[in-house]
Chains A and B, each alone.
Chain A
Amino acid sequence: MTKHNIRTSIGNIFVLLLVFVMLVPVIYMILMSFRTGEEIAADPLGMPSGLFLGNYINTLESMNYFRSVANSVGITLSVTVIVAFVGSLAAYPLARSTNAWGRAFIMLVALGLATPAFVTITPIYVIFRQVGLLDNYVGIILAFTALNLPLAVFFYVGFIGAIPRDLEEAAKLDNCTDFQVFWHVIRPLLGPATATLSLFVMLMVWNDFTYPLLLLTDPDKFTVMISVYRFVGNHNIEPDLLFPAAVLGSLPLLIIFVIFQRRIVSGVTAGAVK
């Protein structure tokens, strides 16, 4: 074995270890979802004795699953699309501005990036109560959009800065207005950035439950994570419902990623600008 081979082998072992550590909770969750409540209570670390699907049937009946998945999908996709569009549109002039105001504004955006989500929830709640956006799809979408926009702007400013200005000037000579330059030339080149950003935003929105918990009250508007969280009671956990619910709650996101994986990976590696 050459030195190089030994080094890659050691590297591989570490990667496998890391993957294992990350997957343990997920595997545990999936395994437990097939065991009855009594089995789990008797032996929390045991293997399932068979593919017991009764949990899933019970869970599906008690968690309003399809309605909440539809809510989550709708909210997540809306937020992702709006964040990508508004974020890139805002980032374009910021990335091109050379004066002090532009840079100061970018710092302000970075400040938004550093603000924890639970700090903004109180003012958002108060404002939404005033303007009647509580328990409202538009409200929750707006809140999530505001929460994720700083990340998007920051992200896009870096990417747009790397696009040669020549392209914009060529487009100006090709009769484009400023917005047309953005739409026909800048936006298509942001594919890789948008793919990566969407990943972050979708994960964040799908998995967050503080915002929907506080901003939504109608059970028909609940997102899937709220539905899952309902099985975590104040004093006790119902494992035979919680584990299947957790699996079901992450499943749609997983499916979306599998479908778009090709695009996300190819987008990240494409290197559009050259």
Chain B
Amino acid sequence: MAELNIRNAIKRYGPVEVIHGIDLDIADGEFCVFVGPSGCGKSTLLRMIAGLEQTSEGQISIAGRDVTHAEPAKRGVAMVFQTYALYPHMTVRQNMSFGLKIGGTEKTEIARKVDEAARILKLGDYMDRKPKALSGGQRQRVAIGRAIVRQPEVFLFDEPLSNLDAELRVEMRVEIARLHNQLGATMIYVTHDQVEAMTMADKIVVLRDGRIEQVGSPVGLYEDPDNLFVAGFIGSPRMNFFAGKVTDMHDAGVTVTLPRLGDVAVPVATDAPLEIGHAVTVGVRPEHFDPSGEITAQLAIDVVENLGGVSYAYSTSQDNAPPVIIEWRGKNRPRQGGTVAVNFDAGCALLFDTASGLRLR
């Protein structure tokens, strides 16, 4: 069990820099999720922590020990790969014992640890099978078992569930969360799926193009995003963005006029020094549309998805912008092809600077 500190970590492939100076602290026992679109450098950063990629500059330390240039096996980390990476010619038991055997652990001790891991992961019935004879979920369990057996200080997962079908993914998600509670170990989990990030993480690190966009708790990122990227990435369905201009200023904030909503004026609280005419973006989440809200606008609805307990109404505009998504619950849900009045509270609206994408608080 250990904390992890990353200071100004940079990764270059030849002249190309793909990780641009990451600073990050992960506390002992924390479940930290790296999330971001494909190609943003999540795997690279994880592999730098594992020691599978050289760190070009900066420092990585685990439990206060500088491991920046240590061998992978000497870092006290274990990794679960997206492809499972089980040794095809070994049985489940051999796969799980291999690391300890190479490390020279005593036979009875190996057996004890492997049996313990098998018990935790309910692998007892498969111990003498080869990976080929296992289902995807079982292989994933073996891969996790192989990591547990090593009793690492930090567990690393690189998109471990992306090769599983949807149902199994939910099951394994719960299982990994349970494992985290049971072992209390520090875990770093990479995914491009923000649902996985939201459901599993103590701390989410949102990455984009090799930079950290924001670090925080799932709820913190959801309710209080630092910029348009994080606001749009976290939450499903995604947040609605309305381009607008500052048309009035008052003590507590500004009034913003939104053309997409029929030039409705929305008073937004902010301390930011703004001028009349400043281009801003207002973000409203689908579930923040609420009949009791004081702001009203008319929207033409072209598609309605009814999921039973909740419906999502989509309103597409002419200008190629993403559709406005409105969540409806209860009775009187909108119909396809109609026009509805939508309401929301100005207090729910988030204000962003359009040019820089930064949040205006």
List of B residues within 8 angstroms of A170 by Cβ: 79, 81, 85-87, 146
Taking CB atoms, residues of chain A closer than 8 Å to B78 are 173
B73: which of A167, A173, A188, A273 is its contact (CB, 8 Å)?
A173
Known: A185-B87, A189-B88, A189-B89. A173 touches B79 (CB 8 A): yes
| Docked complex Cα distance between A176 and B74 (Å) | 11
A-facing residues in B115-174 (Cβ within 8 Å): 132, 146, 150
Whether A174 lies near B99 (C-beta < 8 A) is yes
- Chain A residues whose C-beta falls within 8 Å of the C-beta of B85 in the assembled complex: 164, 166-167, 169-170
Q: Is A49 an interface residue (CB 8 A)?
A: no
Cross-chain contact B103 with A175 (CB below 8 angstroms): yes
Question: Given A173-B79, A184-B102, does the pair A167, B132 have CB atoms closer than 8 Å?
Answer: no
Q: Please state if A174 and B88 are interface contacts (CB–CB under 8 Å).
A: no
The answer to whether B81 touches A188, judged by C-beta atoms less than 8 angstroms apart, is: no
List residues of chain B with CB within 8 A of the CB of A27: none
Chain A 243-274 per-residue mask, 1 if CB under 8 angstroms from chain B, else 0: 00000000000000000000000000000111
Interface string of A169-185 (1 = CB under 8 A from B): 11111111000100011
In the bound complex, residues from chain A placing their C-beta under 8 Å from that of B87 are: 167, 170-171, 184-185
Please state if A175 and B73 are interface contacts (CB–CB under 8 Å).
yes
A88 to B: closest C-beta gap in Å: 15
Among A169, A171, A175, A274, which residue has its beta carbon within 8 angstroms of that of B88? A274
User: Which residues of A lie under 8 Å from residue B146 when comparing CB positions?
Assistant: 170, 174
The answer, yes or no, to whether B92 is at the interface (CB within 8 Å) is no
| Nearest CB in chain B: distance from A98 CB, A | 11
Chain A: which residue is nearest B104 at the CB level? A175
- Least Cβ–Cβ distance between A131 and chain B, in angstroms: 40
Contact with A along B72-111 (1 / 0, CB 8 A): 1100011101010111110000000011001100000000
Which applies to chain A's interface (DSSP): helix, strand, loop or mixed? helix
Please tell me which one of the listed residues B81, B83, B102, B150 contacts residue A180 in the complex, with CB atoms under 8 A apart.
B102
User: How many residue pairs between the two chains, A and B, have CB atoms under 8 Å in the bound complex?
Assistant: 59
User: Please, which residues of chain B bring their CB within 8 A of the CB of A175?
Assistant: 73, 99, 102-103
CB distance from A243 to the nearest CB of B (A): 45
Contact of A169 with B52 in the complex, beta carbons under 8 Å:
yes
B50: interface (CB < 8 Å): yes
Q: In whole angstroms, how far apart are the Cα atoms of A112 and B353 in the complex?
A: 66
Which residue in B77, B83, B88, B89 is a CB contact (below 8 Å) of A173?
Answer: B77
Partner of A272, one of B71, B79, B89, B150: B89
List B contacts of A274 (CB < 8 A).
88, 132
Residues of chain B contacted by A174 (CB below 8 angstroms): 73, 98-99, 102, 146, 150
Q: Mark B52-73, 1 if CB is under 8 A from A, else 0.
A: 1000000000000000000111
C-alpha gap A20/B89 in the complex (Å): 40
A185 to B83, CA, bound (A): 16
Besides A176-B73, A176-B102, A189-B88, 20 other CB < 8 A contacts?
A164-B83, A166-B83, A166-B85, A169-B52, A169-B85, A170-B85, A171-B98, A172-B52, A173-B52, A173-B77, A173-B78, A174-B73, A174-B102, A175-B73, A175-B99, A175-B102, A175-B103, A180-B102, A184-B87, A274-B88
Sampled A-B contacts (8; CB under 8 Å): A164-B85, A166-B85, A170-B79, A171-B98, A172-B52, A173-B78, A175-B73, A273-B88
Q: What residues of chain B have their CB less than 8 Å away from a CB belonging to chain A?
A: 50, 52, 71-73, 77-79, 81, 83, 85-89, 98-99, 102-103, 132, 146, 150
Of all A-B residue pairs in the complex, the 9 with the closest CB atoms, nearest first, are A174-B99, A166-B85, A170-B85, A175-B73, A175-B102, A188-B89, A175-B103, A172-B72, A173-B72
